[in-house]
Amino acid sequence: MIKLPVLYTPRLILREICLGDAEDMFSYAQHPLVGPNAGWAPHTNVQETRRVIQIFLEAKKRGEPGVFAIIERKTGRMIGTIELFNLIFGFKAELGYALNPDFWGRGIIPEAARSVLEYGFRVLQLKRIEASAFLTNHQSQRVCEKLGFIREGVARNGYLRYDGKIFDKVIFGITDTEYENLNGNR
């Protein structure tokens, strides 16, 4: 089982999510623009959020690295999550994230993701990290572009959401070589 490191950025602390984060997570997970844009239903109560966190924690037993809670340094508040999932050790993973809408447009996800990408490529020794976003989710696509991901195409009718709606999704990817070219061989 992988022990997630604690990662630090200028404004954030990224650490493994825990059940104590449920209240903060529920504050944004109930928002109608957060979950549906990521493919999951808005949470209806904090108990549901606790169950989701428990699922995150149990996924580690199946070989997933775990989910980072995004903590705002100045307040200590948990404001989002970011993760590498569908991990194939030494090969690839997918990047996923969610953020409290109160913090949208401030560069929080790119800041957090840069740390997670470094962890993925330099510690986990991944060769590729993928990300996807609904064709209509321009904010998430912009995040991928800022991080240096290459838009690889559109999976038409590529995502069946929790409510039965089918969406096209844009597929992005970045290789270890592309990452090193963008970030230098440190």
Flag whether 186 is in a domain: no
Q: Are 27 and 18 spatial neighbours (Cβ–Cβ below 8 Å)? A: no
Q: For 146-160, give one letter per residue: b (16+ CB within 10 A) or e.
A: ebebeeeeeeeebee
Q: Tell me the Ramachandran region of residue 107: left when phi exceeds 0, alpha when psi lies from -120 to 50, beta otherwise.
A: left
Flag whether 157 is in a domain: yes
pLDDT at 84 exceeding the cut of 80: yes
Flag whether 2 is in a domain: no
The count of structural domains within the chain is: 1
pLDDT band at 185 (very low <50, low <70, confident <90, very high): low
Q: How confident is the model at residue 81, as a pLDDT?
A: 98
pLDDT at 139 exceeding the cut of 70: yes
**The domain containing residue 29 runs over which residues?**
7-179
Q: Are 116 and 65 spatial neighbours (Cβ–Cβ below 8 Å)? A: no
22-44, pLDDT tens digit by residue? 999 999 999 999 999 999 999 99
- Beta-carbon count within 10 A of 85 CB: 14
Flag whether 28 is in a domain: yes
